[in-house]
């Protein structure tokens, strides 16, 4: 904090010189204490408070590398390590709760990149099992053998129930959520069963594709002068609100019916463009709709996108948050929710009963909404 003095008119005393000139001097000083903020480190008592979320990514990455190094010392050089080589280490260093966990995402390319970056942090690689070009990125799988952890990404292209003639991607033939489930995703055939026989965490959202669909459909089906439907910088029309709400209600119900209402389900808050503004008004409104539908369905909120909202410096392009702080935060949050859903009982009294299982705090958190 700097200390500065203030010269006020009351402090100026006149002195008369013989030549008719008058000089003024400051006879008194009033010191003001100005508040000056500086960019300093966080004090340890705040940074390391017992109630803070853990640095799960750092802990898990370090442990995964340690296990791989130990396993590679005993595995013949003629083969790669597999999950079976790590079974005897599964409870090491307090991460036994993570063994065998399965995460499923119904999302877009933002989720795909986050899954890819997560995998790379563990020196692994997400693979795309579907070779057909019309569904090549419809499914992605990330496996971390040292932790027996699997993330399954399933690519949704929005809420439309069919592929309209004006669809802007030629190779993408199957648009409807239900079609993609049956033709490409087949989620129950993927490795999604955790220790409980079901996924340990499911994230879902539809936002960016619905926004683009409304833009493209408005331009294709209306005359240019038919505003606001032909504009990108607009809010949702009432019929769009009704349509999206009905569709995402069906999606939420399908997820409940397929996996059980007591499975940990979260609506992933919607990301916006790096250069945001009125052009993302539709995204903000769909985010609110998603929150309301999620609460009605008994789902909680995955607030990652809200935490990086307007942090365009974390984006790798105009649409996708990049690898680094944004993806590391995403990974920390996924692992935190896995620790909670697994009933890990980590964190001691300061975090109790949060890690006593999903149900321990679900009633309070499913009503959050954040609208």
Q: Where are the domains of the chain?
A: 51-366
Alpha-carbon gap, residue 315 to 305, rounded angstroms: 12
CA angle 181, 183, 189 (to 5 degrees): 70
| Number of Cα atoms under 13 Å in the Cβ half of residue 148 | 21
Alpha-carbon gap, residue 282 to 290, rounded angstroms: 12
Tens-digit pLDDT string for the chain (371 aa): 444 455 555 555 555 555 555 555 555 555 678 999 999 999 999 999 999 999 999 999 999 999 999 999 999 988 889 999 999 999 999 999 999 999 999 999 999 999 999 999 999 999 999 988 888 899 999 999 999 999 999 999 999 999 999 999 999 999 999 999 999 999 998 889 988 889 999 999 999 999 999 999 999 999 999 999 999 999 999 999 999 999 999 999 999 999 987 899 999 999 999 999 999 999 999 999 999 999 999 999 999 999 999 999 999 999 999 999 999 999 999 999 999 999 999 988 999 999 999 999 999 999 876 65
Helices (H) and strands (E) in the chain, counts: 11, 10
Q: Hey, what CATH topology would domain 51-366 get? A: Rossmann fold (3.40.50)
> How buried is residue 97: exposed, middle or buried, by Cβ count under 10 Å (0-12/13-18/19+)?
buried
The residue length of the chain stands at 371
């Amino acid at each position: 904090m700097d200390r500065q003095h203030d010269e006020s008119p009351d402090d100026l005393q006149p002195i008369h010189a013989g030549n008719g000139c008058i000089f003024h001097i400051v006879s008194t000083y009033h010191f003001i204490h100005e508040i000056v903020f500086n960019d300093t480190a966080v004090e340890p008592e705040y940074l390391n408070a017992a109630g803070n979320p853990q640095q799960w990514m750092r802990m898990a990455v370090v442990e995964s590398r340690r296990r791989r190094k130990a396993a590679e010392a005993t595995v013949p050089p003629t083969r790669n390590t597999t999950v079976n080589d790590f079974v005897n280490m599964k409870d090491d260093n307090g991460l036994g709760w993570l063994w065998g966990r399965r995460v499923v995402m119904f999302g877009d390319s933002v989720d795909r990149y986050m899954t890819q970056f997560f995998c790379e942090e563990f020196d692994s690689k997400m693979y795309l099992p579907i070779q057909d070009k019309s569904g090549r990125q419809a499914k992605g799988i990330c496996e971390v053998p040292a932790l027996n952890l699997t993330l399954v990404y399933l690519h949704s292209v929005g809420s439309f129930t069919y592929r309209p003639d004006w669809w802007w991607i030629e190779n993408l033939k199957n648009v409807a959520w239900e079609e993609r489930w049956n033709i490409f995703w087949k989620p129950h055939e993927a490795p999604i069963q955790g220790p409980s026989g079901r996924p340990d965490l499911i994230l879902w959202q539809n936002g960016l594709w619905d926004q683009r669909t409304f833009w493209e459909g408005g331009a294709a089906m209306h005359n240019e002068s038919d505003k606001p439907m032909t504009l990108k910088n607009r809010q949702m029309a009432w019929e769009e609100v009704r349509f999206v709400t009905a569709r995402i209600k069906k999606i939420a119900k399908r997820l409940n019916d397929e996996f059980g209402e007591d499975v940990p389900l979260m609506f992933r808050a919607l990301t916006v463009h790096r250069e945001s503004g009125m052009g993302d008004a539709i995204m903000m409104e769909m985010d609110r709709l998603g929150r309301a539908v999620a609460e009605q369905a008994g789902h909680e909120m995955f607030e990652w996108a809200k935490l990086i909202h307007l942090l365009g410096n974390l984006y790798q392009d105009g649409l996708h948050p990049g690898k680094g702080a944004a993806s590391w935060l995403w990974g920390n949050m996924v692992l935190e929710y896995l620790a909670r859903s697994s009933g890990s009982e980590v964190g001691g009294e300061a975090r109790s009963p949060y890690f006593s299982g999903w149900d321990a705090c679900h009633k309070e958190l499913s009503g959050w909404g954040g609208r």
